[in-house]
Chains A and B, each alone.
Chain A
Amino acid sequence: MKHEPIRVAEADKRPHLIVIGNGMAGCRAVEELLARDPARYRVTIVGAERHVNYNRIMLSPVLAGEKTFDDIVINGRDWYDSNGITLIAGDPIVAIDRAARTVTSRGGIVMHYDRLLIATGSDPFIIPVPGKDLTGVISFRDMTDVDAMLAAAEKGGSAVVIGGGLLGLEAAHGLSLRGMTVTVIHLMPTLMERQLDEAAGWLLKTALEARGQTIMTGADTAEIVGDGRVEAVRLKDGTEIPADLVVMAVGIRPSVALAREAGLEVGRGIKVDDHMVTSDPAILAVGECVEHQGQVYGLVAPLWDMCRALADGLVDAPSGYTPAPTSTKLKVAGLDVFSAGDFSGGDGAEDIVLRDASRGIYKRVVVKEDRIVGAVLYGDTADGNWYFDLLRRAESVADIREALIFGQAFATGGALADPKAAVAALSEEAEICGCNGVSKGQVAACISMGAHSLDAVRAACKASASCGSCTGIVEILLALTLGGEVEAGPKTMCKCTSFGHDDVRREIVAQGMRSIPEVMQKLHWTTPDGCSSCRPALNYYLLCALPGDYVDDQQSRFVNERMHANIQKDGTYSVVPRMWGGLTNPRELRAIADVVEKFNAPMVKVTGGQRLDIFGIRKEDLPAVWADLNAAGMVSGHAYGKSLRTVKTCVGSEWCRFGTQDSTGLGVKLERATWGSWMPHKFKIAVSGCPRNCAEATIKDFGVVCVDSGYELHVGGNGGIKVRATDLLCKVATEAEAMEMCAAFIQLYREEARYLERTAPWIERVGLPYIQARLLPDAAARAELARRFFFSQQFSQDDPWAARVEGGEREQHAPMARFEPVAARQEEMA
């Protein structure tokens, strides 16, 4: 039988304002209205939740046990009563009748309104995976969710939080404090990517892991597994994580269903004008459910501004809402994270970065035309509000720019704004280098004893030799003590750091660093994500230090190493398959010929490195070309790589009337052993069968010249811009010794040369005697170098072409979309 609607008596003659939503924006709007004109409207607030108005953002501290529900109530019963507000709690509105101007609640209450305010907030987004409806899968939006989490936590066990944004991390933190084993699954490569840059995201991840949480980034949920209730979460890569509780915190969607059914204009949110009026003049909307100028919001600060504009409009004193930048803080005790404005940089924007690894601090302020446009702070957020204030007021920071990053106290501290004066004013005992405990007096003494450059100071007293954060101060001390005589420091890797290549390499190994963001943080990079010089170098250094363990960063590689082919001036690629030792056979030649015809390659050429180069291949066709070459047994020739290129050979003893040894055979063996290895620069090998040296072994990085009694091993030669003939390293009697020496030499080069330093300049820098001392007298040390080389080769001798043919990183070759403008043009004309 149909329910008779309950009609509410309407004795009060004032216009009736009904508010749908008893949340943060709805109640704040009423507060603002009451402050302007308490008598103007008769107010009714209808809330789906059975609670009075509470502070939703404090649900996290409630979950973490730092607050109780009573602590977070904003307006208790007495507020409603004393202001004559009718509260209908726990009974959501299910329909709006705009023609009749009534709303109907689920319980059947029908009320007439003169003005209606929709403040329904957001709905948690539930990712549409199998198992999403299982018992034990909850979201994090209201007190009911918190109660459910607390009940689950009481039983202990494992929780999986899907989503590594603000909400997810706060949920994870709370559950972890409540004793659950917590895993966070995040789709993106870094945590809170919308608020934090990669550097801060990395610091945050490290800190949470140190607290015992498991953080999985780049992880895509495939399914929630369980029979009636949740048992595990399965990722797309097959990993299964046991779970007694799953919290979905992947995002929110404006709650617009009611408004849409009522026929209001709705985009992503309910569309409102500057006065928070919807497409129906009698209906207003405010909070997370609205869309204003194409924007929707997920933080409270802009909602407060909206509520002010709304109340001004309701009392006929319209002001209008203007969007303002927002800031975010993570509410996890002991982890200070702050982000504000736009830190994407863009044009004319300049980053000022301060990193202090020993104190776990990262600060980045983005300045554009002398104004702060964004800030990310990690570890020390004390100045967050100051930066945010400067940002909002668009105040010029030209005068305090030098000291801006050190914070308000320093930047506005008068004399201290001059860093030189500040250092001069320090006492002799003042500690300059925290890592090595070096005082100003000690640094000064070391300078007067002859350490006249940064490098010399680092060597003499270790100041600034570890994390480098005091480099600036040491440089000022050098300038103060020596006047103009400071010697130019070591060449730094690039403008992103004050460290040279050798320092960086040493510290990567010494501190066991494992990723590019970690190196940038620990060594105080002055840019957020490096540049095209340091990123490839760091990627190589890490790859070399952590064979088999380090995950190569494709985006830190030059295009040729990403596409496994050589880019040409017209944007096509050339393809060079490996021909071991310069040998080939009909099958390979046929396959190459077929590829040339099939893909219309405009040119094939014999290279200077004894193999064939196919030109003019389109990026899209590369995988298909490789598939055909692979089918004939050929693999990548790495003609593009900072890696082994070719092993050039001559015919040798097998055919040549002068040949002394099997130079071709040894060349093939050397190439089989060394191909695929990543190196500081390209590396070429040649084996000549006699001193006539037809393979030009004496202008190669490693050259073998066969003689009757064995093998002369030569190193450090190249052709190219500055020709350098090799130095004779030593002479050995057997092939096996030649192979071992080659491996040991390559490994020494891999571990000690600077990125983009070929063997010739490296040997000129360190001297042949040094290389000989490392390789010749100590057989065990040499064997160990060779062992390290072969160990790392285990992980690099996979044909990169084959992986792409299998479908790996296919997207690198395919366009994202195709667009046929022809039809469009016609339509435009029509």
Chain B
Amino acid sequence: MIGEWLDIGWVEEIPLRGSRTVQVAGGEDIAVFRTGENKVFALLDRCPHKHGRLSQGIVHGGAVACPLHNWRISLATGEALGADKGCTPVVPVKISGGRVLICRASTLRAAA
């Protein structure tokens, strides 16, 4: 049986104020972030601006700065912050016993 949540690893595998990716065969990567406050979020690894890899950006507060043109994207909503407009799909995350679980259905939808 395939659960509704995908277990992708330990929280500690994601650097604090950093990010890792989850590869989806045949689809786009999911970027999984861990903030300075130890909260974990997941977004499609694609900036709403020109598709920069958000996983490679600088994480600060609850946002990530895209590495290509420095848009700031909210980790919680995927929404561009400040004057910029655009949104990247969010993948729900939960932590259970130190493991990071991401929502299977959203992962499929986002990466498709």
**Do A and B originate from a single complex?**
yes
Residue of A nearest to B20 (CB): A816
* A554 & B16 in contact (Cβ 8 Å cutoff): no
A194 → B minimal CB distance (Å):
7
A325 to chain B, nearest CB (A): 15
Is there an interface contact between B67 and A558, defined as CB atoms closer than 8 Å?
yes
Contact for A189 among B14, B16, B25, B53, CB less than 8 A:
B16
A332-372, CB < 8 A from B: 343-347, 349, 351
A821 touching B20, Cβ below 8 Å: no
Write the B69-84 contact mask toward A (1 if CB under 8 angstroms, else 0).
Answer: 0101011110100000
- Whether A554 contacts B15 by the Cβ 8 Å rule is yes
Interface size on A, residues (CB 8 A): 49
A194: B residues at CB distance < 8 A: 38
- Chain B 58-71 near chain A by CB (<8 Å), digits 1 or 0: 11111001011010
Query: When each residue 557-588 of chain A gets 1 if its CB lies under 8 Å from chain B and 0 otherwise, what string results?
Result: 11110110001011100000000000000000
Residue pair B22, A819 in contact (C-beta under 8 Å): yes
User: Is the beta-carbon distance between A817 and B70 smaller than 8 angstroms?
Assistant: no
Q: In the docked arrangement, what's the CA distance between A814 and B107, Å?
A: 19
Residues 508-538 of chain A, each 1 if its beta carbon lies under 8 Å from chain B, else 0: 0000000000000000000111111001100
Q: Which residues of B contact A608 (CB under 8 A)?
A: none
Smallest beta-carbon distance B35→chain A, Å: 6
Contacts of B96 in A (CB 8 A): 268
Nearest Cβ on chain A to B67's Cβ, whole angstroms: 4
Q: List, in ascending order, chain A residues with CB within 8 A of B39's CB.
A: 344, 346
- Whether the Cβ atoms of B75 and A346 lie closer than 8 Å is yes
Q: Which residue of B lies closest to A530 (CB)?
A: B60
On chain A, the residues within 8 Å of B53 by CB distance are 567, 571
CA distance A475 to B2 in the complex (A): 61
CB-based contact A811/B13 at 8 Å: yes
What residues on B are CB-neighbors of A555 within 8 Å?
15-18, 58-59
Also in contact, A535 and B22, with CB within 8 A (given A344-B39, A816-B9) = no
Q: Which residues of B contact A351 (CB under 8 A)?
A: 61
Within the complex, which residue of A811, A818, A827 is in contact with B2, where a contact is CB–CB below 8 Å?
A827
Which residues on A sit within 8 Å (CB–CB) of B21?
815-816
CB atoms of B37 and A197 under 8 A apart: yes
Chain A residues near B68: list those with CB within 8 A. Answer: 567, 569
What residues on A are CB-neighbors of B35 within 8 Å? 344-345
B57 close to A (CB within 8 Å): yes
Tell me the complex Cα distance, A528–B36, Å: 9
Report the Cα distance A173→B107, complex, angstroms: 46
Question: Is residue B92 within 8 Å, beta carbon to beta carbon, of the partner chain?
Answer: no
State whether the Cβ of A822 lies closer than 8 Å to any Cβ in chain B.
yes
10 shortest interchain CB distances as A-B pairs: A532-B65, A816-B20, A817-B8, A555-B17, A347-B76, A345-B62, A346-B76, A559-B56, A344-B39, A559-B67
Write the residues of chain B forming the contact surface with A, with a CB cutoff of 8 angstroms: 2, 6, 8-9, 12-18, 20-27, 29, 32, 35-39, 45, 50-53, 56-62, 65, 67-68, 70, 72, 74-77, 79, 96-97, 104, 107-108, 111
A-B contacts besides A571-B53, A816-B9, A818-B23, 17 pairs, CB < 8 Å: A198-B36, A345-B61, A347-B62, A531-B60, A531-B61, A535-B60, A555-B18, A559-B57, A562-B56, A563-B56, A567-B56, A569-B52, A811-B15, A816-B22, A817-B8, A818-B25, A821-B24
